Amino acid sequence: MHESRTYWMTYGVAVVSVAVALVLSELLEPFLGDARPYLAVLGAVVVSVWRGGWRPAAFAAMIGYLGTAYLFIMPRKEAGVPRSDFAEELAAYLISCGVVISLGELWHGARRRAEQHLKSLEQEIAERKEAERRLIANLAIAQILAESPQLEDAVPRVLQKVGDTLGWQVGAVWIPDADERFLRCLKMWKAFPDKFARFEAVSSGGTFTSGIGLPGRVWSTLKPVWIPDVTRDENFPRGPVAAAEGLHAALAFPICGEKFLGIMEFFSDEIREPDEAMLTLFGVIGGQIGQFIERKRAEQALQKAQGELKQHATELEHMVAQRTVKLHETVEDLEAFSYSIAHDMRAPLRSMQGFAAILKQDYGDKLDDTAQGYLQRLGSAAARMDRLIVDILNYSQVVRGELDLGIVDTHKLVLDIIHSYPQFEHTHADISIEGRLPPVLANEAALTQVMSNLLGNAVKFVAPGLRPCVRVGANPEAAHDGRVELWVQDNGIGIPPDLQKRLFNMFTRLHRPGLYEGTGIGLAIVKKAVERMGGSVGVDSKPGQGSRFWVQLRRPIQQ
Amino acid sequence: MKEFLTVLIEDDEDDVFFFQRAMEKVDWPGAIQILRDGAEAIAYLTGAHSAADPRQHPTPSLVILDLNLPIKTGLDVLQAFRGCDPDHTTPVVVLTSSTSQLDVRDAYRLGANCYFTKPSHPDGLVELLKVLKAHWIDYNRLA
């Protein structure tokens, strides 16, 4: 409408200038005479082409011709001026008009092109400036994010930088509550501290659910939103306060990393039309801030976890130290306890045995056979008790004592046992070693205990009246993991398969008391000692066909 | 030549009885002084070296020492005795129920001459005293 009015105005200018030209011609006629009747109208054509281009100029030339013809040519025709003069004048007029209009159009074209060029140049400069501001803002935000140790430090600085650089007066950050039911204002920034107080109060005290208000709208779509004038927006509850304080344009964008974290919004005191480039920029900035927040949170979580881990480790160390001290105390108590068992329990036993023996020796001739039998039982019960205590002490020694491992000459060890233990003499057992026993990695005292227990069992558990026949041997290749197997084969009564599992347990005895004496601890000692030396123990046996006990121990490392 | 004096440091009444019986059986010579606890033993043994009248506190010829004693342990007694007998002129026979290797080591370290565990049968004690008599009294020369 505006344009068309300007357009018609140019025709108005043509009409007015022609009219003025005709009036001037009329007034100047006494001085000019009728020699140049078109001269003034030609001036009107020049004015028309200058103001409106070729169309109004052509229109002016036409009405100028008609007016001139009516006002000057007709009276002159009637006055009898020759026709040829009019034709000549008309031709000159038309040619002049043509030249004037052409020149005018050429000038107009040149001017239009110049204006257009200037305009596009200005636009380009403006765009570059805008792009530069966005770039500066972007760089500044990146720098803030890089420098900030905490989210709390970064947010106010980002708000201020965006506002200052891109010309917004108020900024705010909104974050969802723990249950993600509504958004609440985390932080606000104002370019002028003494302005927009009511808007700040309304914002920082308010909450928005999804889809409601500017933050809610961004939350529901996760896309930047630009409102040219919030005072005219229907979905903007803070509108009246904004209107009262002179805030108009608004921009909000989501802060998203892997997931939605919050919203940043800005307000301007001007009405601003949407700027696509700025919207795109804020989409990117929102992503950057989101990634920053998530990275910071991950770092903080990591730091926290590391701190907790460290604290936990310290506590654990402390606890281990405490327990170790306690354990040492317990072990010391146990050792003292074992020692007191050894001394205090065995001392009265020795007295019982001693007095029983003395009674028998010194007063035996005054006692009848029954009394002698009771004395015998008294002595053997005490002896059994003594063995039990000794075995328990041996077992506890094997369980807790230091077992330093070294290279043990098994062959010599077994020979020494056979020759030094009186029980093998008494039974007249036939004990032989097959081949030469290889050395093993063991504790000599513990292995002596093991082999003497096994040999003792081998000669003990034979059928009454049968001469024990025990063979000891080694099988260097029996175990697959480089161990040496030592075995003790007897011609004893054998062990039923269902009892073989319990055989190595504490206090396991497979026979009635009196038939085969024993405490039921010997094999438990064997098992514990072998295990503490890093080996294993087992038995292959069938009732009535003897038993074959085997012990697997580590081979000493070859020098 | 002064009388052979054996000091027996032993708290167990029964063991003292077995000792006296076994000593009779092996004809143990000289006098026997019996001390019942560690403190008494230390007082006697250290007093023997410092007393003005040697007749009241004669120097023992041989000490038979139990380790598990009330008030002061046998090892304490040994340490105190060797403290005032630096030349180890008096033999000390440790005779105890302890089989602990730690005790054996400590006893030798503190200057024991030998270490025996108490036999559980009276005949064993008689056998042991026979050996001790032969060694320390019949064959050994005392300083």
Q: Residue A488 is encoded by which pair of tokens?
A: 């003790």
Instruction: List residues of chain B with CB under 8 Å from any CB of chain A.
Output: 12, 14-15, 18, 21, 68, 97-100, 118, 120-123, 125
- Per CB-CB distance under 8 Å, the chain A contacts of B11 are none
CB B34 within 8 A of CB B16: yes
Give a yes or no: residue A302 inside a domain.
Answer: no
> How many angstroms separate the CA atoms of A105 and A110, rounded?
8
Query: Is the pLDDT confidence value at A1 over 50?
Result: no
A206 and A169 both lie in a single domain: yes
Give a yes or no: residue A516 inside a domain.
Answer: yes
The verdict on a CB contact (< 8 Å) between B120 and A358 is no
For tokens 């320390």, the residue is: B136
CB atoms within 10 A of CB A479: 17
List the domain range (segments joined by +) for residue A42: 2-124
- The model's pLDDT over B99-135, given as tens digits with 9 standing for 90+, comes to 778 889 999 999 899 999 888 788 889 999 999 999 9
A412 and A547 both lie in a single domain: yes
The verdict on a CB contact (< 8 Å) between A342 and B98 is yes
ipTM of the complex: 0.78
A166 and A61 both lie in a single domain: no
For tokens 């010599």, the residue is: A412
Give the nearest chain B residue to A339 (CA atoms).
B98
Instruction: List residues of chain A with CB under 8 Å from any CB of chain B.
Output: 339, 342-343, 346-351, 353-355, 357-358, 361, 383, 386, 393
The verdict on a CB contact (< 8 Å) between A354 and B123 is no
A83 and A175 both lie in a single domain: no
A179 and A57 both lie in a single domain: no
Q: Residue A296 is encoded by which pair of tokens?
A: 């910071």
A409 and A544 both lie in a single domain: yes
List the domain range (segments joined by +) for residue B125: 5-139
Structural domain count of chain B = 1
Query: Is the pLDDT confidence value at A202 over 80?
Result: yes
- The model's pLDDT over B44-79, given as tens digits with 9 standing for 90+, comes to 888 755 555 556 667 888 999 998 888 888 898 999
The verdict on a CB contact (< 8 Å) between B99 and A342 is yes
The verdict on a CB contact (< 8 Å) between A346 and B18 is no
- The model's pLDDT over A30-84, given as tens digits with 9 standing for 90+, comes to 776 665 667 788 888 888 888 888 888 888 888 888 888 888 777 777 777 666 6
How far, in whole angstroms, is CA A449 from its chain's centroid?
Answer: 58
Out of A206, A241, A274, pick the residue that ends a domain.
Answer: A274
Out of A274, A300, A322, pick the residue that ends a domain.
Answer: A274
Q: What is the CATH number of the domain that holds A452?
A: 3.30.565.10
A426 and A542 both lie in a single domain: yes
Query: Is the pLDDT confidence value at A449 over 60?
Result: yes
| A-B C-beta contacts closer than 8 Å | 44
Q: What is the CATH number of the domain that holds B99?
A: 3.40.50.2300
pLDDT band at B22 (very low <50, low <70, confident <90, very high): very high
Out of A242, A274, A306, pick the residue that ends a domain.
Answer: A274
The verdict on a CB contact (< 8 Å) between A361 and B18 is no
Give a yes or no: residue A134 inside a domain.
Answer: no
- Per CB-CB distance under 8 Å, the chain A contacts of B100 are 339, 342
Q: What is the CATH number of the domain that holds A231?
A: 3.30.450.40
Give a yes or no: residue A195 inside a domain.
Answer: yes
Nearest to A354 among B18, B98, B100 (CB): B18
Structural domain count of chain A = 3
> How many angstroms separate the CA atoms of B96 and B117, rounded?
5
Query: Is the pLDDT confidence value at A387 over 70?
Result: yes
- Whether the full predicted model's pTM is greater than 0.90, yes or no, is no
Q: Nearest 5°: phi and psi at B3?
A: -70, 145
